[in-house]
Amino acid sequence: MEKCKDLLPDYLRFVKGLVDSPDLSLNISRELLQQNHTIKVIGRNLEKNILKQLADMLAKEREKYEKFWNEYGRSLKAGVYNSVYDPDSKKDKLSDLLLFMTSKEGKLCTLKEYTDRMPESQKAIYYATGKDKEAIEHLPQMEAVKDKGFEVMFLLDPVDEFCLEALQEYAGKKFQSLSRGDLDLGDVESETSKKETEDIAKDNETLLKDFKEVLGEKVNEVKLTNRLKDSAVCLVAGEYGPSFAMEQAFAMANAPMFKAQRILELNPKHKLFAKLQEAHDQGKDSQDFKDFCALLFDQALLLDGMIPDDPAALAQQIARMMAK
């Protein structure tokens, strides 16, 4: 046969070869042969042997494996993602073959290498998505994690996040995005900062409500955050919906109905927040307050690599603020 789909799973479609076996019956139709028990046994052994050879290459010929990964790594990641629908999946074995760029020296590393380096205080495997490592390194969401000295995995391929969603955890450690849901760094300092932020949020409840009203349907929520250090604002996705990277992947696949929740987070310790309060004191309908809200939202979009809906309006708002 030119091809036999039962010999190898789809994620190993890059493997080419010939199978010769004295146990195959050739006196039946090709359709029946494809359902043959012997074919399935050979297929399981082939898959097992290929994964073993890849594991050996990773352990003994790292440079060669990294070249292989750059060419065919996406297929292995697809194998992990598709394992969600496969009761006989090799998800655990595939997870040890995955490589990701990280913030440590900008090199590729395995999940085992990452978890082996984790300090005891680190409770989760942190990751961030972006078009390249430079873009991720400049994300506002990186600030708090960098401050703690925690390593971050860089997801540069649109399928990466789907892969981690399928895995859910590795070595008992959950995967945690820097741009989805709340960021829990799991230490006393973070808990104290979180409590302070909650107290400030209560005092500025009306401001946050009016901010959301100005932006309307552009955002699902406006809140204060303790995940930022030097930046004034950032945009994050809801914990239980798709991320921004997933939204873009769905859009590329002509399925734009999957939208990420947009949550605008403000840094209450930044000097701009005090200016925002002053603008709000003029009234929620004042031009200054409306400009502040629009500018902070567009700034968050730009920092996340997204284009504002109305660049001309953004230019006018910047001009008004600069004139003052």
Domain extent for 310: 188-323
Q: What is the three-class DSSP state of 318?
A: helix
- Check pLDDT > 70 for residue 45: yes
Residues 146 and 110 in one domain: yes
Q: Which helix (H) or strand (E) holds 148?
A: helix 142-148
pLDDT of residue 182: 80
Residues 106 and 223 in one domain: no
Q: State pTM to two decimals.
A: 0.84
pLDDT of residue 188: 46
Domain C-terminal end among 35, 66, 87: 87
Residues 193 and 317 in one domain: yes
- What average pLDDT does the segment 133-138 reach? 88
Report yes or no on 183 lying in a domain: no
pLDDT of residue 186: 65
Neighbours of 251 (CB within 10 A): 13
Report yes or no on 205 lying in a domain: yes
Residues 104 and 80 in one domain: no
pLDDT of residue 71: 95
Q: Which helix (H) or strand (E) holds 108?
A: strand 108-109
| Number of structural domains the chain divides into | 3
Residues 6+ apart with CB under 8 A from 145: 126, 152, 178, 183, 185
The string of pLDDT tens digits covering residues 64-115 is 999 999 999 999 998 898 876 665 667 778 999 999 999 987 789 999 999 9
Residues 169 and 113 in one domain: yes
- Check pLDDT > 50 for residue 43: yes
Residues 198 and 165 in one domain: no
Residues 229 and 173 in one domain: no
Residues 52 and 107 in one domain: no
Domain C-terminal end among 177, 201, 231: 177
The Cα–Cα gap between 47 and 79 comes to 12
End-to-end CA distance of the chain: 76
Pick the more confident residue, 207 or 32.
Answer: 207
Domain C-terminal end among 66, 87, 108: 87
Residues 6+ apart with CB under 8 A from 25: 33, 36, 38
Q: Say which CATH number the domain at 265 has.
A: 1.20.120.790
- What average pLDDT does the segment 158-177 reach? 90
Angle at 17 between CA 16 and CA 23, to 5 degrees: 140
Contact 10, 82 (CB under 8 A): yes
Residues 197 and 306 in one domain: yes
Residues 78 and 146 in one domain: no
